[in-house]
A and B are shown apart, each in its own frame.
Chain A
Amino acid sequence: MRLRAESILGAVLLLLLLWLVLAPSAAVLVVGANVPALVRIFAGTEVLANTLLVGAGTTAGALLIGAALALILVRIDTPGRRLLEPLVLLPFYITPLLTAIAWSWLGSPRSGLLNLVVQRLFGHSLFNTEGPGGVIFVAALAYAPLPFLLIAGALRGMDPALEDSARIHGATVRHAFARVTLPLVLPAALGAAILVFVQAMGLFSIPAVLGMPQGFTVAGTEIYRLLNTYPPRLGQAAAWGLVLLAATAVLVWLQSAFLARRSYVTVTGKAFRPRLVAVGPVRFALAGFAWLYIGLAVALPVLTLLWAALVNFITADVRLMAFDLRHFHYILFTYPKTEIAARNSLWLAVAAAICVSLLALGIGWLSVRGRGLGVRAVEQLAMAPLAIPSIVLALGLLWTYAGLDILPIYGTAAILLVAYVAHFLPLGVRAMAAAVRQLHPELEDAARVSGAGLLQTLARVVVPLTRPSIAATATLVFVLALQEVSASILLYTSRSTVLAVATFDLWEAGNANGLAALGVLQLAITFVALLALAGFRQREVAA
């Protein structure tokens, strides 16, 4: 009976995933298999080389920052680490588009605010955030929380007895770290590197702001250009989607092939806590590094946005600047897209949060409790969007649904919802599988013995017990959906425009101050959602 219910759940989820993930991927494969377009891509190697450069540079930068932060905050007696840990995750909640725009105002060669200060002191500019260097710098700042989360998790899950053994056998602290700790966090680091590389290969908003004006084009901005010039060059854009998809598939395969060669089991049945290493006064410098990261990735960009939202116009001449609320007034009462974009963003983010949480709960439960090939297929398909840049996913959805009369979602907000659910599903599945893994199966067995069916057991036992994880997943998806640009920019219409696209439109319209005001409002919504989650968690703990 249980097996039958599981099979039905598995079959339903499999069908849903085939529709969500496989259909758009297949569309990219079919439309992108355009030999002349592929030849053109590989003949003009510049964009390809730029894409690889940004992919590799961002991965290296984000991995270095994330790994360093993980060590500093999890394994070293760094002062203030409890406060720092949630703060270093904040860049995850700020849309890279806003970070990039803020850094273009901070670090542009002639009028960047930092350069204006430096010019006064030294007579010449020091910073340049435009071009490849700026793209990689901002992308590394924006994506560093991802390796931080994965590597910090691996460090926390590591039994200190392994390091102790090395020390007992004569290894120094440094030696034990290099020979024991580092190799054991390698799978997490490699996984994080692949994740960041895939995202960086499909980057759109950061290179659009910091690269395109300098003639620095990567795959994401090239796809955007190809679809937005007249006449649009669809075949060429699809071929780029195919190239990105193939590249990420190869990377994911390489990762699993590499990890399959060795055992990295570190979590045992024994309870333990990672031991903190005392590093003396150096710990203050390490705390300084973490604060510097927060300053560069959060404080400076947010303060710059706030400044731009309040100043009359951005100019190299400080004497012309005046401050008032006119841009907030424009955004709230005059800009015609604010209301419709805010309404769409909010309902889409809520709907995506609900859909992802429910789907992820089902898939997470099935992947932990279920058995068989079907279960693995569901799990693999659910995680597949991790390897699909969102701009490529959007291309696939565009071609799947344009002119599809049976399911006429093209040109509606529903196609954005499909994109968001598919794109954010892996995050939800990972969180929900971990939550289900913590529940003892006896609890569900007791419900089943008492006559509850599978759905009843899930609703009455699993959902209440995993409520904090569901709330966290829903909040995370809500916030990320609110920021999403790369897929939205290809799929929105006038009726389904969203806040991130409205912000991008203001940037294209040269309305820097208006976009800053809208960006500040968008950030305010994000942080209200995060505070609500924090309040919910506190109430749960208190209960």
Chain B
Amino acid sequence: MSRTTRRHLLTGALAFGLPWRVSAQDRGALVEGARKEGQLALAHSVSVASFPKFLQAFQAKYPFIDVDAGAYSAPTGRVLARVEGEIKARALSFDALHVASLAPYLGLSQRGALADYMSPELANYPAEAHDRGQWATARIVGVIMAYNRNTLPANLVPRAWADLLRPEFRDRKLIIQDAAAGTCFNQMYLLGQNLGQEYLRRLGQQRPMVVATAAQLIDLLVRGEALVGATVDHYRAFEPDAVKAGIIGVYPLEGMPLAYAPIAIFRDAPHPNAARLFEDFVLSEPGQTMLNTEIFQTYSMRTGAPTPEGQKPLASTKPMVPRDLADYERAADHFPETFDDLFKT
């Protein structure tokens, strides 16, 4: 209850242009603390080759923080499994979490595993971009379809999610990501909510190929091993190498499921000050420009942030978002079994 009140207060403060700020004195203490800690251990699901540039930019700003030694990157499921294992073993080595799915943040927050930190940068974000300083949205990934124009004839190009059920896409002609991928859960949950569970059942009957990551999916499309990517992290379809190799992204007519990729700090983070500085950097204007424009081409929730070049503005993609967060979180808990029932039998 008290948390809800705080949230309302914060929202009110933002509305009146009086954001919560870290004072200059606090800021000095934060930097001094981070200097003593000397390290940031980020657990993340980012697999793009240029992401180290982002970490290096942060390190260039705070040269006394080592960002490499403790970093851990893997598909969302593996990152969360590792985090859970370490929390259970009371040996958490991570400071901050950045994966492309909101559901685990809701669970971690409820269990008290996340730290409260109201970054001063949140003054530039709408209220729905964060939750009481428990987590804040760093970027938004859309889930779309993609194909290789060198292998798929123009007359077979799908325009809607419903087109994936056509007979020509049966038996390993489609590729989706595995249950361990955060975007996969968000896509399947939102498609189930919007197109019905029967749609998902029929999609499973198409017997798609299942890969661990979006990058592998694009790799197989480039190599011509399947016709259509059906769980494509939208920015992957617009990467220069992918475009050069013939990949074309398709915004489905029914709408684009969104996966929020928040940043959060663990309550038991071994380097909490470094983590706070990192969250500030992620949410700052230069951080968002670098993350969402230069590295990912994803959508930013920061006020005034531009739409990535060559992409549709978010509002015109008919974005699909979870309407009932409690149901969304419950579905996440059972998703591995749901996915197996749909796609592994």
The chain A residues found within 8 Å of chain B, CB to CB, are 44, 46, 108-111, 212-215, 217, 225-233, 313-317, 320, 330, 334-336, 339-340, 398, 402-403, 408, 410-411, 493-495, 505, 507-512, 514
Contacts and interface: CB of A to CB of B under 8 A. Distances in A.
B325 interface: no
Interface residues of B, number: 65
A104 to B, nearest CB: 9
28 contacts: A109-B225, A111-B225, A212-B178, A215-B207, A215-B343, A215-B344, A225-B178, A229-B178, A229-B336, A229-B339, A231-B80, A232-B81, A314-B219, A314-B222, A315-B224, A316-B150, A317-B150, A336-B52, A402-B88, A411-B86, A494-B93, A495-B70, A508-B213, A509-B216, A510-B47, A511-B47, A512-B219, A514-B49
Contacts of A215: 207, 209-210, 343-344
Nearest to B79: A230
A494 B245 contact: no
* Contact residues of B: prevailing secondary structure: mixed
B52 A334 contact: yes
B81 A230 contact: yes
Contact of A510 (B52, B88, B216, B344): B216
A402 B87 CA distance: 10
A316 to B, nearest CB: 4
Contact of B74 (A398, A508, A514): A508
B216 A508 contact: yes
B290 to A, nearest CB: 16
Contact of A228 (B49, B81, B90): B81
Nearest to B220: A213
Contacts of A336: 52, 55, 68, 71
B91 interface: yes
B60 interface: no
Nearest to B76: A230
B72 A493 contact: yes
Interface in B23-39: none
B82 interface: yes
A511 B49 contact: yes
Tell which of A231, A402, A411, A511 has the most Cβ of chain B within 10 Å. Answer: A231
Contacts of B336: 226, 229-231, 233
Contacts of B263: none
A158 B186 CA distance: 64
A321 to B, nearest CB: 11
Nearest to A405: B90
Contacts of B315: none
Interface in B226-265: 241, 244-246
Contacts of A410: 89, 91
B217 interface: yes
A230 B90 contact: no
Contacts of B75: 228, 508
A462 to B, nearest CB: 41
B263 to A, nearest CB: 17
Top 6 A-B pairs, shortest CB-CB distance: A510-B215, A494-B72, A509-B47, A111-B223, A316-B224, A229-B336
B211 interface: yes
Given A313-B245, A402-B89, A411-B93, A229 B150 contact: no
Nearest to B92: A411
Contact of B90 (A212, A403, A493): A403
Given A228-B75, A228-B78, A336-B71, A510 B213 contact: yes
A317 B246 contact: yes
B218 interface: yes
A428 B132 CA distance: 57
Given A313-B245, A317-B150, A509 B223 contact: no
Nearest to B53: A334
Contacts of B55: 336
Given A230-B332, A314-B222, A314-B223, A217 B344 contact: yes
Nearest to A208: B212
Contacts of A317: 150, 245-246
B244 A320 contact: yes
Given A336-B52, A509-B47, A509-B213, 18 more contacts: A108-B223, A109-B225, A228-B81, A228-B180, A230-B76, A231-B336, A314-B219, A316-B151, A320-B245, A336-B55, A340-B69, A495-B93, A505-B73, A505-B74, A507-B216, A508-B47, A509-B73, A511-B47
A227 B336 CA distance: 11
Contact of A330 (B49, B179, B214, B332): B49
B77 A230 contact: yes
A234 B245 CA distance: 40
B228 to A, nearest CB: 14
B80 A230 contact: yes
B215 A509 contact: yes
Contacts of A316: 150-151, 222-224
A232 B84 contact: yes
B209 A214 contact: yes
B172 interface: yes
Contacts of B335: 229-230
Contacts of B80: 230-232
A229 B43 CA distance: 15
Contacts of B244: 320
A315 B220 CA distance: 9
Contacts of B151: 110, 316
Nearest to A494: B72
A213 B76 contact: no
Given A111-B223, A494-B72, A212 B212 contact: yes
Nearest to B81: A232
A111 B224 contact: yes
A194 to B, nearest CB: 31
A539 to B, nearest CB: 40
A440 B283 CA distance: 73
A330 B53 CA distance: 12
B104 A230 contact: yes
Nearest to B336: A229
Contacts of A512: 219
B180 A225 contact: yes
Contacts of A228: 74-75, 77-78, 81, 180
Given A230-B81, A330-B49, A510-B219, A110 B93 contact: no
A71 B84 CA distance: 52
